[in-house]
């Protein structure tokens, strides 16, 4: 599995590439505090051509200048430049949580590049202005916590109920995830949350409704909030298929074998 870097007009993207089979590669996008390596087990087990990126502000994909304005559109443009550098006409895109919203943002900007869209425990953002403003306030407070004491913030984050069974179900994966989280630069991570917070990003309901490619939603049955969100998303586009797994929020960590089987089935389906 190659560890690579791509210089774009908007900064450097670090990514992994597994040169497996299949005509159309799959791009994997991690969630908040993840890294490309979060997908190593998945992309090595599917056997297909796969790429996984460090989202800007995470791992080794830094903001060039945290004081310089950066947008979601810039990020999508960077990903598009990576895809074009590989001479790829189409990709499957699989995003987890925050990475799922970024996948939707990319798909809305470059719909012609999407073959299949796979969203794990994700949403289309917050449609209500007051709720979005409140979420931004909460996430800006999280940013202060990250900059003040990253390890303490990670402890608090890992105690959230939607993650409560991760260590029990996959202790090695949980420990690896914690190592990745603590490896981040706190200022870079904080900047990423300011940019990609559900309070800062717009809702993509209208764009999602118009997607004309297959959409697959993967959720844990214990993650009641995001099961409800996926049910609502399924009413907004006729191309949606829902997959439910006995898991919490992070299905690919808690139930990796089941998740990998689902991904294989999706990639092999018409």
What domains are there in the chain, each with its CATH number? Answer: 2-126+202-268 (3.40.50.1820)
Distance CA(203)–CA(179), nearest Å, equals 32
Q: Say what the pLDDT of residue 213 is.
A: 98
pLDDT tens-digit series, residues 161-218: 999 999 999 999 999 999 999 999 999 999 999 999 999 999 999 999 999 999 999 9
| Residue 223: both structure tokens together | 């993650």
Q: In what order do the strands lie in the sheet with 240-245?
A: 2-8, 11-18, 48-53, 21-29, 91-96, 114-120, 215-220, 240-245
Query: Average pLDDT for residues 7-19, to the nearest whole number?
Result: 95
DSSP 188-200: HHHHHHHHH-TTT
Q: Say what the pLDDT of residue 166 is.
A: 97
User: For 60-74, 207-221, 243-257, which range has the lowest pLDDT when averaged over its residues?
Assistant: 60-74
Question: Residue 97 — very low, low, confident or very high, per pLDDT cuts 50/70/90?
Answer: very high
DSSP 130-146: HHHHHHHHHHHHHHHHH
Q: Which of 149, 148, 179 has the alpha carbon at shortest distance from 59?
A: 179
Q: Say what the pLDDT of residue 22 is.
A: 82
pLDDT tens-digit series, residues 100-138: 999 999 999 999 999 999 999 999 999 999 999 999 999
**pTM of the entire structure?**
0.97
Q: Do the bridges between strand 48-53 and strand 91-96 make them parallel or antiparallel, or are there none, so unpaired?
A: unpaired
Question: Residue 270 — very low, low, confident or very high, per pLDDT cuts 50/70/90?
Answer: confident
- Sign, CA torsion 263/171/31/100: positive
Q: Say what the pLDDT of residue 93 is.
A: 98
- Sign, CA torsion 35/103/232/120: negative
Interior CA angle at 189 toward 188 and 191, to 5°?
Answer: 65
Taking a C-beta distance cutoff of 8 angstroms, is the pair 260, 42 a contact? yes
Estimate to the nearest angstrom the gap between the alpha carbon of 101 and the chain centroid: 7
Taking a C-beta distance cutoff of 8 angstroms, is the pair 245, 251 a contact? yes
Torsion of CA 68, 73, 77, 83, to 10 degrees: 130
Mean pLDDT of the chain: 96
**Helix, strand, coil abundance in the chain, percent, nearest 5:** 50, 20, 30
What are the C-alpha distances in Å from 67 to residues 2, 70, 106?
32, 9, 24
Interior CA angle at 264 toward 174 and 33, to 5°?
Answer: 30
């Amino acid at each position: 599995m190659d560890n690579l870097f791509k210089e774009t007009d908007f900064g450097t993207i670090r990514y992994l590439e597994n040169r497996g089979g299949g005509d159309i590669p799959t791009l994997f996008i991690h969630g908040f505090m993840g890294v490309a390596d979060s997908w190593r087990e998945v992309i090595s087990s599917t056997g297909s051509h796969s790429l996984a990126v460090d989202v800007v502000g995470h791992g080794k994909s830094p903001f060039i200048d945290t004081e310089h304005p950066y947008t979601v559109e810039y990020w999508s443009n960077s990903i598009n430049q990576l895809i074009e550098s590989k001479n790829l006409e189409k990709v499957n895109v699989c995003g987890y949580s925050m990475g799922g919203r970024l996948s939707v943002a990319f798909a809305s900007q470059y719909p012609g590049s999407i073959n299949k869209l796979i969203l794990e425990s994700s949403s289309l953002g917050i449609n209500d202005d007051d709720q979005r403003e409140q979420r931004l306030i909460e996430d800006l407070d999280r940013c202060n916590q990250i900059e003040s004491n990253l390890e303490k913030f990670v402890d608090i984050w890992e105690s959230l109920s939607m993650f409560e069974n991760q260590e029990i179900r996959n202790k090695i994966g949980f420990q690896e995830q914690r190592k990745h989280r603590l490896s981040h630069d706190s200022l870079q991570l904080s900047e990423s949350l300011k940019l990609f917070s559900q309070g800062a990003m717009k809702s993509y309901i209208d764009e999602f409704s118009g997607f004309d490619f297959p959409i697959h939603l993967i959720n844990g049955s214990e993650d009641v909030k995001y099961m409800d969100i996926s049910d609502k998303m399924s009413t907004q586009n006729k191309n949606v298929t829902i997959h439910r797994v006995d898991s919490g929020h992070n299905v690919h960590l808690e139930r990796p074998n089941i998740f990998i089987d689902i991904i294989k089935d999706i990639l092999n389906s018409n």
